Structure 1
Amino acid sequence: MGVELPIHDRVGAIRILFSMAFWTFLALSSAVLFLGALLLWALTRPFDANGRVLHLYSCFWAQLYFYVNPMWHLRVEGRERLPWKGAAVLVANHESLGDILVLFGLYRPFKWVSKAENFKLPLIGWNMRLNRYVPLIRGDRASIIQMMAGCRHWLARGVPILMFPEGTRSHDGQVKAFKDGAFTLSIQERCPLIPVVLTGTARTMPKHGLVLQQAVHARVRVLEPIDPAGFAGDVHALRDHVRDLIIREKARMDAEG
């Protein structure tokens, strides 16, 4: 007779197999979907200068991994508060790599601000380049200046941008200190700032790990837009106000289960 593994080891083995299947499917599907993105980019570029169609296709690409996985669930609340057109700065808390997949579920036009190394990833990074998202090298002053200029370019064209003001993923799910960039943009460009609160995403792809959890119940809640004019140019006051809003709303969502 074979030796039966303890329940903990069996669960761990199942998670590893599930993770291997996920990453394999992601790689194979990305190869096919990138070809679709390349074709769509070529067809729509003449009449869609801001790349809205390609971005919405990329939203479907990311959401596909929720659609096909019966153990992953996502609920988006307040999507109607996001603009189809017009400048806005979206800011979200950051729990895991899974936040990227989740926030594409907003299905609204925006340009990501993302680490420069992500643009070098095969297929997914190439698609980010096609979408003309905004790269950033953390801690590099020249890159930060270039990133801010890139964001201003898109805001001037009436395209929202989305940033993680924590700058990096939280290791414990707690909201970290916010950096000033997003709030400076909102005040200087006189455009609304829209907080987006995530919960449950830390269990999708934990930091420094590729082993996925078996079941995920992620939620996104879009809060009311904030007019920066009420903060009289005080970047820090706007930053701290938004962080407090996100912390309180996240606690409320966690308590709701």
Structure 2
Amino acid sequence: MAAMLRVFSVAYWAFIGITCVVFFAGAVVVWLVTLPFDRRRTVLHLYSSAWASFYVYVNPLWRLEVTGRNRIPWRGPAVLVANHASLIDILVLFALFRPFKWVSKQEIFRVPLIGWNMRLNDYVPLVRGRAESVRRMMAHCDRLLEAGSPVMLFPEGRRTSDGELQPFKDGAFELAVRHQVPVIPIAVHGTRRALPRHGLVLRDRVDVHVEVLPPIEPHDDAATVKELARTSIAGALAAP
């Protein structure tokens, strides 16, 4: 079984690499056609969501369920925060099919095709640990929220190494308080079992669940909002 999974994993990642060429060509067309009238690039983001979700739904080892999607607004700003356990968290969160902007580490923006598409979408790059990059990220998110776009962040900052929910950083919650917009916690279940932090060999069949939790209305204290969001996600992850 282990050998079969290694072979399947190689074939799966090769399939992604090859088909990304076609999907990126489509993204360029969508960007060019919608650029004059879609300032928030909502159509391109939804195209990108379909692109990412395709790789989830064609994988016979993964079964994905999304609940609570209607808690994410189609229009209006919000701050979305999710736990981060695996590389495929990004794929399954795209399956929300709601217009939001990613905050992602800058290295991803340098990846051919995928990173280029992220730039077309006006997603937000971040170099972890660099104060100037954090300031630019926050200013970029300020502009997006003012324009009415939700932003999506992993408040842990990086993928968990042991499966436990890590402490949350402040940035997402400072944005929510400054703009007085809701924080929407999202619990992602099962992705670490599908693909652990280290390595690209897929595991056996896994059920993945993206659970959108009730929004947290903005308070005057970012620390309070952060604690409420973390408690919400931790409770959902601990539930049977």
The one-letter code sitting in structure 2 at the alignment partner of 1:145 is R
Could you tell me the TM-score, scaled by structure 2's length? 0.98
**Identical aligned pairs, as a percentage?**
52
- Per the alignment, residue 174 of structure 1 pairs with 164
RMSD between aligned residues: 0.8
CA shift digits 1:193-238 (9 cap, x unpaired): 1000011011232112111113121001111111113xxx221121
Give distance in 1, aligned partners of 2:162 and 2:191.
11
SS for the counterpart of 1:195 is strand
Flag as ranges the 4+ runs of structure 1 deviating above 4 A. Answer: none
Match of 1:159 among 149, 165, 179: 149
- Unpaired runs of 5+ residues, structure 1, are 1-10
The reply to whether residue 236 of structure 1 matches residue 223 of structure 2 is: yes
SS for the counterpart of 1:112 is strand
Work out the number of aligned pairs and report it.
Answer: 240
Give distance in 2, aligned partners of 1:236 and 1:64.
37
Give distance in 2, aligned partners of 1:172 and 1:215.
20
The reply to whether residue 143 of structure 1 matches residue 108 of structure 2 is: no
Give distance in 1, aligned partners of 2:53 and 2:193.
17
- Per the alignment, residue 25 of structure 1 pairs with 15
* 8 A Cα contact 2:216 2:228, kept in partner: no
Larger radius of gyration: 1
SS for the counterpart of 2:163 is coil
Could you tell me the TM-score, scaled by structure 1's length? 0.92
- Per the alignment, residue 247 of structure 1 pairs with 234
The one-letter code sitting in structure 2 at the alignment partner of 1:143 is S
CA shift digits 1:80-132 (9 cap, x unpaired): 11100100000000010010000000000000000001000011111101101
CA shift digits 1:31-55 (9 cap, x unpaired): 1100000111011100101100000
SS for the counterpart of 1:219 is strand
CA shift digits 1:14-39 (9 cap, x unpaired): 11101001101000110110000011
- Unpaired runs of 5+ residues, structure 2, are none
- Per the alignment, residue 57 of structure 2 pairs with 67
The reply to whether residue 48 of structure 1 matches residue 35 of structure 2 is: no
Give distance in 1, aligned partners of 2:68 and 2:40.
24
